[in-house]
Amino acid sequence: IVLMGGLGADDKSALEKIKDRGKLVVGTSAGFPPFEMLNTSAAGGVEGIDMDVAKAIADALDVELEIKNYDDFSVLITALQNGKIDMVIAGMTITDDRNESATFSMPYYKADQALVVLKSNTDILSTADLAGKVVAVNTGTTGQYYIEDNLPDVGEMKPYGTASDTFQALSGNKVDAVIIDSPVAANYISDTNPYKIVETIETNEFYGIAMSKNNSEDLVTEVNKILEDLIDSGEMEKIISKWSQA
């Protein structure tokens, strides 16, 4: 009977648990502009496209929003599996490997990869020039997987916890180049920044919201409805335009 009672408590769906708690806990990894950036004056200390989407979801569910920021993007799925967060909203590409560990919403953003170097660099014009070079990536991202799968001649791949860390490594001459999601790369390109994009790598990636595989069917359905409403109403485009320089 005791065991049955314990199982009964766990039988509540993911959406029911959020409603009962009155709070949606979202995991992210700041330092991935324009999707999530640190800002101590923002709610939860993080702002950006994904945080506006998270707020829209919490509002639609009529619950409070709590943001948990992780310094390392690669631990987000583990945090989800361990029940520390309800979902991951972090510019996360939907992949076959990640689908084995989490359930994803419908896509809400399309991206490619970009090859970034310093403006002063005249040697690297494309990925074909990366043989023997040191390339920075954001740990556990599709940029890392792209190098592993497609660029065997890269001299060294250096993984960093956040996108901003990769660009600091580039500006500090610790690496020769960065491969990272194209909208993030575009965010760093300006007259005052020392970076330039020399190649856009067409990977046709789609970002989704990751949720637990455990009893989350109703949550996934509800999140998809909310995303559809945001897209159909034009609100998603407004959110993206608000933050993106792409």
Encode the chain (246 residues) as per-residue pLDDT tens digits: 444 443 345 679 999 999 999 999 999 999 999 999 999 999 889 999 999 999 999 999 999 999 999 999 999 999 999 999 999 999 999 999 999 999 999 999 999 999 999 999 999 999 999 999 999 999 999 999 999 999 999 999 999 999 999 999 999 999 999 999 999 999 999 999 999 999 999 999 999 999 999 989 999 999 999 999 999 999 999 999 999 854
Burial of 116 (0-12, 13-18, 19+ CB in 10 A): buried
pTM above 0.75, yes or no: yes
DSSP-H helix ranges across the chain: 2-10, 14-21, 49-61, 76-81, 96-99, 142-150, 163-171, 182-187, 217-232, 235-243
Please state, in angstroms and rounded to a whole number, the distance separating the CA atoms of residues 54 and 105.
13
| Lookup: tokens for 142 | 């599709």
Please state, in angstroms and rounded to a whole number, the distance separating the CA atoms of residues 91 and 80.
15
3 state DSSP class of 160: strand
Residue 27 pLDDT:
98
| Lookup: tokens for 66 | 């709590």
Distance between first and last Cα of the chain: 58
Q: Reply yes or no: is the peptide bond before residue 34 cis, omega within 30 of 0.
A: yes
